[in-house]
Every structure is written in C-alpha cells, then in structure tokens.
Amino acid sequence: MRIGELAAASGHPTRTIRFYETRGLLPEPTRSTNGYRVYTGADADRLEFIRNAQTAGLTLTEIASIIHLRDAGTAPCSHVNQLLDAKLADVQQRLDQLTELRSELQALVRRGRTLDPEDCTTNDICHILRPLAPT
C-alpha cells in the first residue's frame, strides 16, 4: 500500500501521515525500490488508534508515549490509565473555570438588561463591565 492509498483508507492527508512518522507515531515504513513508502494494514490500524486516542483528548505527544511503550514490548495499560486520569482531572478543572465564567457572564448579562444606557457616563467607559460583588 502506498501513502496515497493509506491516506484514502484512513482519511488522513498524505502530509499528515508523513508528519506522524516524524513524530514517532508511525514506524518508518519500508520503501520500494523507487523510494516510495510502503504500508501494511498495521499502519492503517495504528492510524485508527491515533484517531481514537485523539477523540479522548490526548495530544499527539501523549499518544506517542503510549505507542513507544507498546513498541518497547510493554503493555501500556497502566500508563494509559494514568494519562486518562490526568486528562479527566484537567477537563474537570477547565469545566470548573468555565462554569465560574458562565456565572459571571450571566450576572453581567442580567445587569446589562437592568441598567439604563442613559446612566452610562464617559469616565466609566461602560457601566456594565464593572466588578461583580463576590457571590
């Protein structure tokens, strides 16, 4: 299988496939006599794995760390569990931050509906965007 076919099969552009190779996500493929990359079904599987892992929010660097373990002969399970735990904590933290920001925005939106533009003076710039009383 040449790179174009793998690209068609996997849905990744050929550029991305080469890029993954440089990032250690795909093994260096064998080459045909003309220098073209030659791939097997295992490469297609790996590309699918990468896509699954990306869906879980892992970065390419993290995915590479999993693949390297596997290639070194170690089952990456406990490492993957660690990554997932950390990622989950990360997502939770961002959720908390965003939830707080949403509360603040909601309060500002409410304020914006009650304040009269006539009362907005130049030196305020905007009387809506002022600090909120701590909730």
Partner DNA sequence: GTAAACCTTCCATAACAGGAGAAGGTCAAG
Partner DNA sequence: CTTGACCTTCTCCTGTTATGGAAGGTTTAC
Residue 61 in the binding site for a copy of itself (CB under 8 A): no
CA distance linking residue 22 with residue 17, whole number of Å: 9
Q: How many CB atoms lie within 10 A of CB 17?
A: 21
Residue with Cβ nearer DNA (16 or 115):
16
User: Which member of 1, 2, 95, 133 binds a copy of itself (CB under 8 A)?
Assistant: 95
Residue with Cβ nearer a copy of itself (4 or 57):
57
Sign of the four-CA dihedral 30, 36, 38, 43: positive
Pick one of a copy of itself, DNA, none as the site partner of residue 35 (Cβ within 5 to 8 A by kind): DNA
Pick one of DNA, a copy of itself, none as the site partner of residue 77 (Cβ within 5 to 8 A by kind): a copy of itself
Instruction: Find the shortest distance in angstroms from Cβ 100 to a copy of itself.
Output: 10
Q: 62 vs 3, 56, 76, 82, 121, CA distance in Å?
A: 24, 11, 12, 11, 52
- The residue type found at 19 is F
7 contacts 39 by C-beta, under 8 angstroms: no
User: Which member of 122, 133, 134, 135 binds a copy of itself (CB under 8 A)?
Assistant: 122
Q: Tell me the three state secondary structure of residue 31.
A: strand
Looking up tokens 């030659």 gives: 38
Residues that bind a copy of itself in the complex, under the rule CB under 8 A: 42, 45-46, 49, 52-53, 55-58, 66-67, 70, 75-78, 80-81, 84-85, 87-88, 91-92, 94-95, 98-99, 101-102, 104-106, 108-109, 112-113, 115, 117-118, 120, 122-131
